Amino acid sequence: MTTMKTNQKILIWVGILGVLVVAFGLFYIIAWSLNPIVPTDTKIINILEENKESLYPLKILG
C-alpha cells in the first residue's frame, strides 16, 4: 500500500513539473512573438538601411 502512495506522489510531482515546463514553453513562445530577439548586428544593419538616404552625403567624406 505504501508503494502505491509513493508512486502516486511521484506521478503527481512529475505531472506538476510537466505542466510547468509546458507553461514556460508557451510563455517563451508568446514573449518571443511579441518582441523577437534579433542579433545586434542585424539591428544595426536595419537601422543603416532605413537611414540610407541621409547617410549618402557621408560617403563623400569616407
Give the domain range for residue 26: 2-61
Domain count for the chain, please give it: 1
pLDDT of residue 25: 96
Structure confidence at residue 44 (pLDDT): 84
DSSP state of 51: T
Q: What is the rounded CA–CA span in Å between residue 48 and residue 42? A: 10
pLDDT tens, N- to C-terminus, the chain (62 residues):
677 888 899 999 999 999 999 999 999 889 888 877 667 778 888 888 888 777 776 666 54
| Total residue length of the chain | 62
Query: Quick check: helix, strand or coil at residue 17?
Result: helix
What pLDDT was estimated at residue 8? 92
pTM listed for this prediction? 0.52
